[in-house]
Amino acid sequence: MAYKTLSILTLLAVTVLAGCNQDPTRRVPFEVPVVDWNDDGQYLPKRVGPGLVAREQSPIPDVPMPIGFKPVVSQCSSSFDGVARTVTHVYQGRSRTPETILFYRQQLPLQNWQVVDMQTHEDGSTSLHYMKGAETLGVRLSGRYNTATIEVFMSPR
């Protein structure tokens, strides 16, 4: 019995000492969790290649949405007063925030949106601001893990 207790204590001591002597600069592989669904519970398909590509038909014809992104319908609304649109749309998909920022910086000028400015917020999100005709457009881009959230705000100037 004493031999068994001594063996267990020795094994514990060796385990503790081995843990204390590990190299603190050694990085343990960490796999980033992937969110498979948007905030409304819609499945977000896996990416098939690098970069983002605009869908052929977007919920807002002159504001592209990347392929694979899904609207968060519970957070979307729109109206038109005959002159300008008032829109709030939220999309989610698998992407990293810098890649999503690049997508909109490339795509919106192709739709004749003129750049006003770009702002980075304390929470790590980025807002892009544009104008065209009687409308202003704000696109706020944020992300967690490998899921990007795109918030589109359009209003009269």
For range 2-11, the mean pLDDT: 49
pLDDT of amino acid 35:
59
Whether the pLDDT of residue 4 is over 80: the answer is no
Confidence of residue 17 (pLDDT cuts 50, 70, 90): very low
- C-alpha 4/C-alpha 61 separation (Å) is 75
The dihedral formed by the CA atoms of 4, 5, 11 and 16, expressed in degrees to the nearest 10: 170
**What number does CATH give the domain 70-156?**
3.30.310
Average pLDDT over residues 90-114: 95
Measuring CA to CA, which residue among 155, 127, 129 is closest to residue 141? 127
Region 94-106: what's the mean pLDDT?
Answer: 93
C-alpha torsion 24→27→28→30, nearest 10: 140
Stretch among 30-34, 88-92, 113-117, 153-157 having the lowest mean pLDDT: 30-34
H/E element, 149: strand 147-156
pLDDT tens-digit series, residues 19-77: 444 555 555 455 555 557 888 888 888 877 788 999 999 999 999 999 999 999 999 99
Closest by CA position to 66, among listed 100, 41, 90: 100
Choose between 43 and 80: higher pLDDT. 80
Share the mean pLDDT of the chain. 83
- So what's the pLDDT on residue 12? 47
